[in-house]
Structure formats: structure tokens, C-alpha cells
Amino acid sequence: MISISLTLRERYSLCCLLHQEGKPLVLNVVRRVEQELVSNPLDYDVALSFCIICRARNKEYLPITGVADFNKLSAQLIFGADSPAIQESRVTTVQCLSGTGSLRVGGEFLAKHYHQRNIYLPKPTWGNHPKVFTLAGLTVQTYRYYAPATRGLDFQGLMEDLGAAPSGSVILLHACAHNPTGVDPTAEQWEEIRKLIRSKALLPFFDSAYQASFFTCN
């Protein structure tokens, strides 16, 4: 057995070995094991995780905002490929860890940089929303959403509550397949909500968790 003790600086340089010309140096042994795992995946899970880790051929760290192509395509998916907002460079996209991580980063960003602390959540909403936004530093309020009597949307209640929210408040909206009710506004109701949000200078914050279900079920 060989025991090696490294200083912090040495450990750091091992993580990011660079050729003299500044390009990452990937050890031959890493390339060889990678190749062996791909051509002989005895343990599929191990091979898969290894491939994901090694996918970037040069083994560099990702930039802090994530994979540039992923961000670009995500923005196109959400806003539409010919969106004026994208064309006029009014869209910024950051890749975060999971949906929950994205909500937390978004919430913290608003708590730190936005002038309003109130965030209005639909009632009911996904159980983690209140905790995530409270921990992020926002003040959680609710707006009426579900009408048990009709098992549908309480559209009037929703419009009244958003209409009464202080100007500038953050409004959390489930983009589609509302969790837990499965009830979404119609296209016409979305248009009314959009107008209200615009006229009161509210800030819409979309949690788009079930885009794929929407595409497959609709």
C-alpha cells in the first residue's frame, strides 16, 4: 500500500492538472478506465455514473452558471425560439441543481436584490414551496386557487387575491399540471391573469415542474 500525504495546494493542483499551454491534462489511466467501462459495462449503474462524470471530454469544471447550450435551449423551450425577449438579450438563464435548488436560488436572489419580500403562493401548493421560500428570506402569503365544490379553479378568488396584493409582490405560478390539484387555468384565464399582473406591476415567478406531463397529456 502506498500512502501519500499532500498539501492543500498539491491536492488542488491534482484536481485541475493543466498542460503547460493551459489545457486540462487527463491522465491516460482515466481515459483507459473510461473506455473499458463503456465497452464492458458489467455494472450498468457504475458505468453510467462514470460516463456522466466523464462526459465532458476535457474534464473541466462547468462554468458557475451551468452548461451554456443547455441554458440556451431551455430559454428557447420556455420563451419560444423566436422570442423577442431572447433576441433583445433580455433573458438570463442559470442552471441550478434540480427544481427545488432552482426555487431556492431564485428565492434567495429575490430576497437579496428585489424590493418586495412578499411572495404569493396558490392555496394549496406543493408542500415544499412555503419552506423553501421562507428559508430563502421571503414572506409567504397565499392566494385562492382551488375550489373543492367544483373541483376546479377558483378563478374569481384568484383574481381578487392577486388584485389585492401590494404592487410589486412576487406571484408564484405553476406553469402547468398544478401540484397537488392538477387544475390549470384555461388559455383565456391565463390571459386575464397576465393582464392583471402587468397592470399591477406584480412579478410572476413560474415553477415549471411538469412540462413533459403537459406535453404528453395535453
Nearer to ligand PLP, 92 or 98 (CB): 98
Nearer to ligand PLP, 26 or 183 (CB): 183
Cell representation of residue 102:
432552482
Nearer to ligand PLP, 74 or 83 (CB): 74
Please report how close the Cβ of residue 105 comes to ligand PLP at its closest, in angstroms. Answer: 12
Query: Which sign does the torsion angle of CA 195, 160, 106, 127 carry?
Result: negative
Please report how close the Cβ of residue 127 comes to ligand PLP at its closest, in angstroms. Answer: 9
Nearer to ligand PLP, 100 or 139 (CB): 100
Nearer to ligand PLP, 122 or 165 (CB): 122
Binding site for ligand PLP (CB under 6 A): 98-100, 126, 174, 179, 207, 209
Please report how close the Cβ of residue 134 comes to ligand PLP at its closest, in angstroms. Answer: 16
The string of DSSP letters for the chain reads: -------HHHHHHHHT-B-TTS-B---HHHHHHHHHHHH--SSHHHHHHHHHHH-STT-PPPPTT--HHHHHHHHHHHH-TT-HHHHTT-------SHHHHHHHHHHHHHHHH-S--EEEEEES--THHHHHHHHHTPEEEEEE-EETTTTEE-HHHHHHHHHHSPTT-EEEEESSS-TTT-----HHHHHHHHHHHHHTT-EEEEE---HHHHHHH-
Rounded Cα distance, 104 and 138, in Å: 10
Please report how close the Cβ of residue 98 comes to ligand PLP at its closest, in angstroms. Answer: 4
Q: Are 217 and 211 in contact (CB under 8 A)?
A: no
Please report how close the Cβ of residue 126 comes to ligand PLP at its closest, in angstroms. Answer: 4
Nearer to ligand PLP, 154 or 207 (CB): 207
Please report how close the Cβ of residue 125 comes to ligand PLP at its closest, in angstroms. Answer: 7
